[in-house]
Amino acid sequence: MKIDVTLEITPKMVQDAQGHDKKSLSGHLGTHFDVMNKEFPLEYTQRRGIVFDVSGIKDRDIGVFDMDLEKVPADSFVMFYSGFIEEEGYGSAKYFKEHPQLSDELIEKLVNLHISLIGVDFAGIRRGREHPVKDQYCADHGVFVIENMCNLKELLNKDVIMNTYPMRYQGMTGLPCRVVAETM
């Protein structure tokens, strides 16, 4: 079975996002990669996926003790289901500024596990000024961040293969992409 985890974009969502996120129309609209100054490797288009349920974590960063990182294989696509995109809806000021975030320690651990991709159902792995800094840190270590995913709850406790295809834009820090999970 295939499950699309790409956020469907409507004209209203575009309008809302433009009002709250300056980068939304420069490759950062909806589900997208933060590629920074790197090239997305074609071998990353298909990866084994794992989704962690972090929906119960509120008012603090998502940390290393909130999941079993021993389940994470190298070269995988690690995703975090928080439920935030369903609760808040894409495009509001709160969506872009008050979303959940991963702790610095968790980001470092994931990079050290030699994964390929981090996926979240919110606007970034960190907020504010830390957002591009952590995206660059990940990219510098061969890990790409995909933001604004949806339907991740459908992938909980399932073995999945993730198929990810970014647009072939040049010189952008964000690349819109289509992400489809295939349950095994």
More confident: 96 or 113:
113
Q: How confident is the model at residue 68 (pLDDT cuts 50, 70, 90)?
A: very high
Find the mean pLDDT for residues 4-31.
74
- Tell me, what's the pLDDT at 70? 96
Torsion over CA: 173, 62, 31, 71 (sign): positive
Does 22 have pLDDT greater than 70?
A: no
What CATH number did the domain enclosing 163 receive?
3.50.30.50
CA neighbor of 150 nearest in space, from 57, 34, 58, 32: 32
Beta carbons within 8 Å of 173's beta carbon, 6+ residues apart: 23, 26, 27, 28, 34, 35, 36, 37, 132
Our count of domains for the chain comes to: 1
pTM (two decimals) = 0.93
Task: Give the range of the structural domain holding residue 85, as residue numbers without chain letter.
Answer: 2-183
Give the C-alpha separation, 184 to 9, whole Å. 28
